[in-house]
Amino acid sequence: MTPFEFTSGPSRVVFGPGILDRLPDEVTRAGGTRVLVLSGSGTAEAAGRAAALLGPLLGGHFAGAAMHTPVGVTSTALELVRSLDVDCLVSVGGGSATGLGKALAVRTGLPQLTVPTTYAGSEVTPVLGETDQNGKTTRSAPEILPRAVLYDVELTLGLPVALSVTSGVNAMAHAVEALYSPDANPATDTMAVRALTLMSRALPRIVADPGDVEARSDALTAAWLAGICLGTVRMGLHHKLCHFLGGKYGMPHAATHTVLLPQVLAFNPAATPDVLGRIAGALGVRDAAAGLHDLIAGWGGPTSLRELGLAEEAADDDLLRAAYRGTRPPGAAAVPDFGALTEQVVASFAATPDPRTRVLLTDLVRVLHEFTNRHDLTQREWETAVGFLTRTGQLCDDTRQEFVLLSDTLGVSSMVDLLTNSRTPDTTPSAVLGPFYVPGPPAEQQGADIARGLPGTPLWVDVRIEDVDGKPVPGAVTDVWQSNEDGFYDVQLPELAGPVLRARFTSDADGRVRFWSILPSEYPIPDDGPVGQLLAAAGRHPYRAPHLHFMISAPGHRRLVTQLFVAGGAYLDSDTVFGVKEELIVDFGPGTGEPPDGRELTEWNKVVYTFRIAGEQQ
């Protein structure tokens, strides 16, 4: 376990197309009555729209925000703040406008709101970098953080492609820095990887179509996540170099980040191999540094400090010399046209009528392509996988579902089950269906013996079915099935005549279902097919913990598929299909007193349990 600290900023975030229209309400929410709009010269149109929307709330507009937040510009703006007697600041633009807003807010204590038009990410960090004649200095304080951020995707549609690329890679640098920071923690790690994934997918789409609203939305989301990450960790080598070059030589901020990021990643890879692996995986490349360099070049971004105007004598160490020349870091090349091929396949599903089907198919394509590229799959590996799936399908019939078994052993069935169960938390937990359910089991009366003479310890099952309010559910159709004492289901035993250890009951007026069976035992899943070969290759056992299956259906209620596991049974902590849930581990203990139905038994067990099922509306 790695100890960590995590502080989340208090900024309010409002995200979506047309969100700028809500600016007056957000200003009022922050307590503002007289606003100074801040912007640079390149965002005059967006700043003008913001000013017009503010109407009587507008106190003035300062359009002189500059790169690296020069203290001289801040002093000029501060005089305007005082002369206009404003009580709120609204920054519209990229990092320069946001930086000026922060510099003014920290000097005056005024609430500030930001409307980003690039992917700078500065709007969600409590960090302020300022420059004067001595260079650039950075400080961090809670009061530097903007009060609210309005992410209007429509404002980024006009961002030039070249600036979109450098601004996007700048955001990626924030995520990368967070991953290898000593302050990294599970929250920032998750957000950073997601940010890298989103941005690396969005930028090629923006390059191909700058008006792609979904791509712009993904990029803006990535910038937000990456900014949060950077705001919670200490800055490392990459940002220090960028701030040094920007402060001393006036280098363009985002473009400098774009050039330096692959070089910094390549500088000391041995120190962070796990981090580099996660970065490569998120980017869909085989080598983080070289792959990112190739992606940037493919997007038309700058790869050398020389093309940004840095003098050669300023590159005075190995890392900066490599960045000055634009030297490609050593490493495996990205697959040619990887992104283009993926987008071509994704586009082929664009006309899918059902929106949910379209989302599932396109995301599946992206995941499969990323996996293929990340692991550099060979033709032989692909053929092996196709052959495995073919054999899996060939083993499926009415009595054996090898594909369900594959889904079970990979944990996919249990993942879907967890998602399903999370939607109705007040009900009995569900569990995987398993490969041995057969529709239409024989109907039996209450008290029947579904073992039909098979050997095993007799088991009396007494369960009650209720709704979430604790009221009995009469007439609930309840299918039950289980294995015999040797671990086999009836469909695996061709010598048996008809169904055994499976039946269908209907709950009585009190919602109860009662029947005789035998005590379940642990058993191996069928391991004579492809799934068994997979488990053997992975060194995993094929055993399931002992359990009894239930499928409960009632009019006006949602169907419940679940299992009851024998407390103290084998493999509860290593069930091969990951199906055991603590709430479903139940006492199947010895029966006491006279057995039900007056049976003459010297040894028998019983299980008593209450199922709670959800109504359709729940």
The closest of 489, 475, 484, 483 to 446, measured between CA atoms, is 475
Contact between 428 and 478 under an 8 Å Cβ cutoff? The reply is no
- Cross-strand pairs, 560: 552
| pLDDT mean values, one per 10 residues, the chain (618 residues) | 54 88 94 94 88 95 91 94 95 92 94 93 86 82 89 93 94 89 83 93 91 93 90 67 68 86 78 79 86 90 88 80 86 61 85 90 88 82 93 88 90 83 79 89 95 94 95 97 92 86 97 96 90 93 95 94 96 93 94 87 94 86
Residue-level pLDDT at 238: 60
CATH topology assigned to domain 412-613 = Protocatechuate 3,4-Dioxygenase, subunit A (2.60.130)
Contact between 124 and 149 under an 8 Å Cβ cutoff? The reply is yes
Residue-level pLDDT at 105: 93
The closest of 179, 166, 277 to 234, measured between CA atoms, is 179
The closest of 307, 303, 305 to 315, measured between CA atoms, is 305
C-alpha span between 578 and 587 (Å, rounded): 20
Token pair for 204: 């090629």
The closest of 617, 478, 479 to 557, measured between CA atoms, is 617
What single string gives the DSSP state of each residue in 219-269?
Answer: HHHHHHHHHHHHHTS---HHHHHHHHHHHHH---HHHHHHHHHHHHHHHSG
Helix (H, G, I), strand (E, B) or coil at 505: strand
Q: Which CATH class is domain 1-156?
A: alpha beta
What single string gives the DSSP state of each residue in 521-585?
Answer: --EEPP-SSHHHHHHHHHT---EE--EEEEEEE-TTB--EEEEEEETT-TTTTS-TT----GGGE
Greatest C-alpha distance within the chain: 99
Residue-level pLDDT at 3: 59
What single string gives the DSSP state of each residue in 21-59?
Answer: GGHHHHHHHTT-SSEEEE--GGGHHHHHHHHHHHGGGEE
For 525, phi then psi, to 5°, come to -70, 160
For residue 350, the number of C-alpha atoms closer than 13 Å in the C-beta half-sphere is 8
- Cross-strand pairs, 613: 467
> Which sequence spans correspond to the domains of the chain?
1-156, 161-334, 338-374, 412-613
Nearest 5°: CA angle at 280, between 278 and 285? 150
Side chain identity at 495, as an amino acid letter? E
- Cross-strand pairs, 514: 462
C-alpha span between 405 and 530 (Å, rounded): 10
Contact between 140 and 178 under an 8 Å Cβ cutoff? The reply is no
Contact between 342 and 350 under an 8 Å Cβ cutoff? The reply is no
C-alpha span between 140 and 285 (Å, rounded): 34
The closest of 547, 550, 544 to 610, measured between CA atoms, is 550
Q: Which CATH class is domain 161-334?
A: mainly alpha
Token pair for 260: 């330096």
Long-range contacts of 578-585 (CB under 8 A, 24+ apart): 578/408, 578/411, 578/414, 579/408, 579/413, 579/414, 579/417, 579/431, 579/432, 579/434, 579/544, 579/545, 579/547, 580/545, 581/429, 581/431, 583/428, 583/429, 584/428, 584/429, 584/431
C-alpha span between 51 and 43 (Å, rounded): 12
C-alpha span between 106 and 83 (Å, rounded): 18
Return all residues near 59 (Cβ < 8 A) that are at least 6 apart: 34, 35, 36, 84, 85, 86
C-alpha dist (Å) from residue 344 to 12, 309, 338, 340: 37, 37, 10, 6
Token pair for 346: 């994704």
Query: How large is the angle between the packed helices 186-208 and 288-298, nearest 10 degrees?
Result: 30
The closest of 106, 60, 55 to 83, measured between CA atoms, is 60
Residue-level pLDDT at 247: 65
- What kind and span of H or E run contains 467? strand 458-467
Residue-level pLDDT at 251: 80
Residue that the structure tokens 């979506």 belong to: 16
Q: Is-above-0.75 flag for pTM?
A: no
C-alpha dist (Å) from residue 497 to 155, 432, 455, 521: 71, 27, 16, 22
Contact between 463 and 512 under an 8 Å Cβ cutoff? The reply is yes
Within 10 Å of residue 379's Cβ, how many Cβ atoms?
7
C-alpha span between 551 and 504 (Å, rounded): 9
